Amino acid sequence: MSRGSFPRIPRSPGGSRTPLLLAVAAVVPAGFLGWLLWDASGGPADDGKRPAAAAASSAPPSAHRVSPSPQPRASAPGQPSPSAPEAEGTPSADGPLKGKVVVVDPGHNIHNSEHTAEIDRSVDIGTGRKECDTTGTSTDAGYAEATFSLDVSHRLRRILQAQGATVRLTHDGDRPFGPCVDERAEIGNKAHADAAVSVHADGAAVGDRGFHVILPAAVKGGRADTGPIAGPSKELGARIAGNFVRTTGSAPSNYIGGGTGLDTRSDLGGLNLSTIPKVFIECGNMRDPQDAALLTDPTWREKAAQGIANGIADFLRR
């Protein structure tokens, strides 16, 4: 996720977090799943520290994840996901997520660069003002973050709908630009969604690798008050991170989050203005060649969508 131009200068991790052993994670991703998959009775810690995790799950991986839906025909980089034609709001008649509403927010918009004046105007994000939206980043070969995020969002929608969830996208590539960050939050709020996820890829330095999930900080000001959603959002983010590790094999970020795969921020209007549990996921670094090879691979993007879906399902079925 770019903040207007790329490459983005990596931000130092904030707050106190317990590092994850990345060396172990790189060899046996499932070995550290217990750190991220919370015990159903644990919940968010009142002191803001990492909640107790299941030390080691005795259940097979399938016990924690949604059954994968049939794999779609792979699409080439830069092409729409094969699942894109499926309509929003048409969940299967039955399934474990029946009655649940999920908002999926594809980061940026491929047309933002054609509307710089519109996306540069500032909007209120509670802690101040920030640009309406940004162009996002891209790989060195020109594969845009906005294309990536929409593709993964289409895949995520299909997987969740197959489980019975009602899914709404904040946009489907059908707008001239945006939506602005405050409108993205408002779409989830008005839908009274049970969870929302904003899909992104980062634009950091070469050698910065891995994914991280961004959680809302405690923010109160103007229209922003994340007090009621900070705890549930933290749980949602932890469950997504744990499932993302296991499904994709990717390690948590080596440059943000202190090895935890989690980062807390107060400068994102899409989180500050949300009244429902919401997180962002940066699926990898588009400016690093190794991460870029994954992000442009349709097979890996399907795994990424599955991992996010599994985490959402874990959260909604807790």
Q: How far apart are CA 201 and CA 84, in angstroms?
A: 19
Choosing from 145, 235, 282, 302, which is the catalytic residue?
A: 282
Predicted confidence (pLDDT) at residue 61 exceeds the cutoff of 50: no
Rounded average pLDDT over 52-78 = 35
- DSSP 8-state class, residue 208: -
**Which CATH number characterizes residue 111's domain?**
3.40.630.40
Name residues whose C-beta falls within 8 Å of residue 4's C-beta, 6 or more positions apart in sequence. 131, 134, 135
282 is catalytic: yes
Is 67 within the bounds of a domain?
no
Pick from 46-50, 59-63, 138-142 the range whose average pLDDT is largest: 138-142
Is 83 within the bounds of a domain?
no
Q: Is the pTM of this model over 0.85?
A: no
**What are 211-255's pLDDT values in tens digits?**
999 999 999 988 999 999 999 999 999 999 999 999 999 999 999
Is 19 within the bounds of a domain?
no
pLDDT of residue 93: 73
Q: How far apart are CA 94 and CA 103, in angstroms?
A: 19
Is 201 within the bounds of a domain?
yes
Is 21 within the bounds of a domain?
no
Is 248 within the bounds of a domain?
yes
Is 290 within the bounds of a domain?
yes
CA-wise closest residue to 151 among 1, 286, 299, 288: 299
Q: How far apart are CA 198 and CA 47, in angstroms?
A: 26
**What are 165-204's pLDDT values in tens digits?**
999 999 999 999 999 999 999 999 999 999 999 999 999 9
CA distances 164 to 170, 239, 241, 286, 317, Å, are 19, 19, 22, 32, 12
Quick one: pLDDT band at residue 94, thresholds 50, 70, 90?
confident
Rounded average pLDDT over 27-44 = 38
Higher pLDDT, 126 or 37: 126
Q: How far apart are CA 81 and CA 59, in angstroms?
A: 33
Count CB atoms within 10 A of the CB of residue 254.
16
Rounded average pLDDT over 101-107 = 98
CA-wise closest residue to 211 among 118, 270, 283: 283
pLDDT of residue 4: 37
Range of the domain at 107: 96-228+236-316
Domain count, the chain: 1
In the chain, % of residues over pLDDT 90 = 69
Is 63 within the bounds of a domain?
no
In the chain, % of residues over pLDDT 70 = 72
Phi/psi of residue 253, nearest 5 degrees: -50, 140
Between 20-29, 198-207, 277-286, the lowest mean confidence (pLDDT) is in 20-29
